[in-house]
Structure 1
Amino acid sequence: MNAPSTTTSRRPRPGRITLRARLTLVHGLLFVVAGVLLLGTTYALFNQRLQADISRTEVSTPSAPSGGGPTRSAGPTLTGPDGRTYTGDDAQRFLQDTQDDLHAAATTSLITQGGIALLIVGGVAAGLGWLIAGRVLDPLHRVTDTARRIAAAPAADRGLHERIALGGPDDEVKDLADTFDAMVERLDRSFDGQRRFVANASHELRTPLALHRALVEMAMHRRTASEDVRRLGTDLLDINTRQEKLIAGLLLLAGAENHLPEPHPVDLADIAAHVIVQSGPEARRAGITVTHACETAPTRGDVLLLERAVQNLVGNSIRHNVEHGGHVHVTTRTGTDGTVVVEVGNSGPTVAPYEIPTLFEPFRRLGTERLVTAKGAGLGLSIVRTIVHAHQGTVTAVPRDSGGLTVTVTLPMTPLSAPGEPSDGTP
């Protein structure tokens, strides 16, 4: 599975406001608020200065009349900018008109034109804020893209070799990137240790069991071996076989979680039919009837892992069934939503719905303890779930009303190539 591109990973989800947009919006709003406060302050100072200028306008009071009669004020006298002299009510009206004209001019120039200029400059500031926010958040995008590539790797340990290695100033963002690199490096070391452990366990555990099997078989097949020795050898071989299966299951479980080989086109119907033939002797010994309805179900994956998953489903359905008279039904089909389905249903004891999730946990078996005489190691469905998840699919189980389970595996559908055409889509 290819990692998502940087363009796709940075595409915002619908209905979500990105941090870059929020920073731009805050920057633009702060700029506009500061501009409005600046215009208001300028307008108030201009109005104050206007009142002071008007109060200093030349106003004179006419002299008393000659003849020594009583003094009578004719009202204020005002000399306008044009040299004309206004007296009485005319002076008051001229003064008021002048003040109104100046207020209108101030409103037009400061409030209206200044507001338009503020909006234009605010838009420019918001655009610059968008660019600056993008530059500031670019290291965070690198962190996010690296984390998404690691998370989208086809296996858990793939992609852990990637590092951000962020340069630039030693700030909080660089601290975040360095911390992320240290975490990924620690995870890489942990997975590398797990890989070495799986490789060593495969050798150290299988070799003694193989030697044990060889020694028991040699003792059983000696001509001098008594019947008791042969019976004891048979029991020991059964225990040895169970231990081999347990170890193989654990190794497969660990390997499927950490690595998925190169996928190839495969038809689940062929795999199911092959598994049913292989399971025939076991089903006949248990008195179980196995039926199938296998339609073409093309997908891509590892053939051996998918065969093991179907084999575990069918084997569990045979072993966890009613004795002599039970049935198992296997179905493969193509879904309507671009998926393929493998469905295995069986008869058997009634299973409570709340017990279903525990069936997919390792070493969990219904109604049995961790005994040597148990029917299985408790890893069958755990391995199925791990293999299905490694193939980007899902697995669910539903209890049947009459007893037993119906387990459904859903995988992405990939049309099989026609004869003579390349399977990888290349010309």
Structure 2
Amino acid sequence: MPDPDTTAVYAAEDLYADWLDRARRTPGEPLQVRVGEEVRSFEPEVEPRFTDPDHVQAYVDRVLAHLTSTGATYDDAEGRDLTAIPVRVRARRGRRQAEYDGDGVIAIPPREVGGAWSLRAAVVLHEVAHHLTGAGGHGADFRGTHLRLLEDLGLPVQAELLHTAYRLQSLETGVDGDDRTLLRIGKLLRQAERTTNAAERDAFFAKAQALATRHQIALAVARASAQDEERREDPTYETVQVGERGKRSLARFVRLLLEVARANDLKAAIYSDNTRVTLYGFPSDITIVKALYATLVTQMVADGDAHLRSGAHKADVQEVWDARRRRWASRPVHGSTARTAFYEAWTAHVAERLTEARTRARRQVEAEQPPSASTEVALRAKEIEVVDYFDKMTTEHGVRGTWRGAAYAGAAAPSSWGAGTSAAARARLGSEPGLPSGA
């Protein structure tokens, strides 16, 4: 029985490939794509190209190895993880079609018979998606798998481009709208947790924050539209457990959560013992902040542990009062002081990077569509609504006083401060792909 979606999928992917070709011809310049009356701007990751089917084979092997190493699983109806099943690439005699035969074989026409068009990742990953779907056809399951594959390979902008092409052909992908955005943010954060490469981790965090900012702007505009009244969110609050009473570094964990909240339009009230923080704002923003914080605090603690294990903090000395000898003495910095300084520096620099990612995303939105009065009013209305709600709820909850954090520790442990800054900034922000650039 013919697959009714095949023609539309091929049309969408032809459009997607054309966009990638345009981006390739103008490196460093944003790709402008018209979607209805809106012009959107994309900066897609570099698409690998290949010389022959053997080169494609090496790439497919790396793709499957990457999925396995990062814990991404694609199960078939029998519960088998299809990423663990090898795929063989062979040359095809005909030049018009690339094909997955359903038994782990991808046929690619070589350059010699006119198959240059197929020797690119956009075509090859389509066939890999067939393998990972575990079923034939080009339905919603296949399309969702193809999008997920791009995201799992660290190509979220390409995934968004393909998703846009599907939408222009009126094709469903299983998950759309707000839910898809939150899933993509979660996927980026899981990729950041899994990778051991500092550059990739930093890039995933930046992409997650930029995506969150675009999502927040879109929702703010939707809230201001009478046509979207049924989709309006109302502000709410949620209390996040930071740690147990008496646990060390609670104030530093609170500081990190506050910086993430500030970058995502939330207000916060802190419990006096630093064990909990109540977040005030829109539900989708709270969801994003909780996800970002959970990943960032895990990475901060891991980086801090690695710093202390290295022993680098022992190079610092601290002047302390020796009560027994009644004089000042120089002593090595205690591990807890070094950890505190490390956390402070780590948080300060990550806060800068979140803010930079947010600012870039807002500027990109402005570039796509010059700021209109409605957009500006919507963003301002959102800010006012959150502030008014925060003032109302803190009054009702009897919240008083100002959180002062904890004493600054950077001066006491300068090497740990520097190490914290380096750990949070050793890689540039960007759109590095999840596979090596030579893939």
Q: TM-score range by the shorter chain?
A: under 0.3
Larger radius of gyration: 1
Give the TM-score normalised by structure 2: 0.21
Give the TM-score normalised by structure 1: 0.21
With a CA cutoff of 8 Å and minimum separation of 6, indicate the structure with the bigger relative contact order.
2
